[in-house]
Amino acid sequence: MKIRVLTLFPEMIEPFFSSSIMKRAVKKGIVEYEIINFRDFANNAYNKVDDLPYGGGAGMVIMPDALSLALESIGAKGKRVIFPTPSGRLFTQQDAQRLKEEDELVFICGHYEGIDQRVIDEYVSDEFSIGDYVLTSGETASIVIIDAVFRLIDGVINKDSLSCESFNDKLLEYPQYTRSLRYCSNSVPDVLLSGNHAGITNWRDEMRLKKTMQFRPDMLSDASLSIKMRRKLINITDKEFLEDL
């Protein structure tokens, strides 16, 4: 996959591509990347890329000129061009699954009050929000989306790690424990030390249901639960109901 990031702050993006798992994916040739400073395409005396919004209001808006020249230089028309913005559709794991199939992704990092709408109309295929909060820059949001996508590409991380993780079947992941056996006078749940694989699976399934009920009850209505898991859920809710009495 080739990932191109158009930004005014390349120094925010570069460390992501040259660290950790992404660094390895780049080294293996699974991911290629290019960081483009679209200020380099400004053709005015001060390399100015933003201006006051028409109609008034606070802040500055990124002008279409330099940004669209940068987009043209990479032949962005018709490609998957992603603009992270708090006013976009909420980005989900399903979007990450879809985007991992693309050969090329282009990200536009906005700043200030956003970018001129005409650039969005002309080039952008997806406007994604990464959550209901506002960040200072599109760079951090782009990194979040790139991270969620590239880790799903074959060969980036171990397939087993992907098979049982939060959101795959609309349930959150179970808690994990490792050495040492005792930490701050808390011990590891006995079942995990029992060697009883059925017991461990059962415990983990229960924990996934409990965690989802606690933190994301909204996800349960969408979850495609097996009959076994439904029974477990009913058991848990019955037990909690009785405990509350």
Annotated binding-site residue? 156? no
Q: Which stretch binds ligand ADE (CB under 6 A): 27-35, 47-55, 79-87, 235-243?
A: 79-87
Using rule CB under 6 A, residue 114 touches ligand ADE: no
Site for ligand ADE in 116-175 (CB under 6 A): 129-131, 133-135, 138, 141
Using rule CB under 6 A, residue 54 touches ligand ADE: no
Give, in order, the Cα–Cα distances in Å from 25 to each of 8, 36, 145, 147, 150.
Answer: 25, 20, 16, 11, 9
Annotated binding-site residue? 133? yes
Residue of 107, 116, 173 lying closest to 142 (CA atoms): 107
Task: Give the Cα separation of 97 and 149 in Å (integer).
Answer: 7
Name 128's bridge partners: 89
Query: Minimum Å distance from CB 235 to ligand ADE?
Result: 38
Name the residue nearer to ligand ADE (CB basis): 9 or 236: 9
Tokens of residue 105, six digits: 């992704």
Query: Minimum Å distance from CB 138 to ligand ADE?
Result: 5
Name 186's bridge partners: 183
DSSP strand pairing (32-37 vs 2-7): parallel
Residues in touch with ligand ADE (CB under 6 A) = 84-86, 129-131, 133-135, 138, 141
Residue list for the binding site for S-adenosyl-L-methionine: 110, 130-135
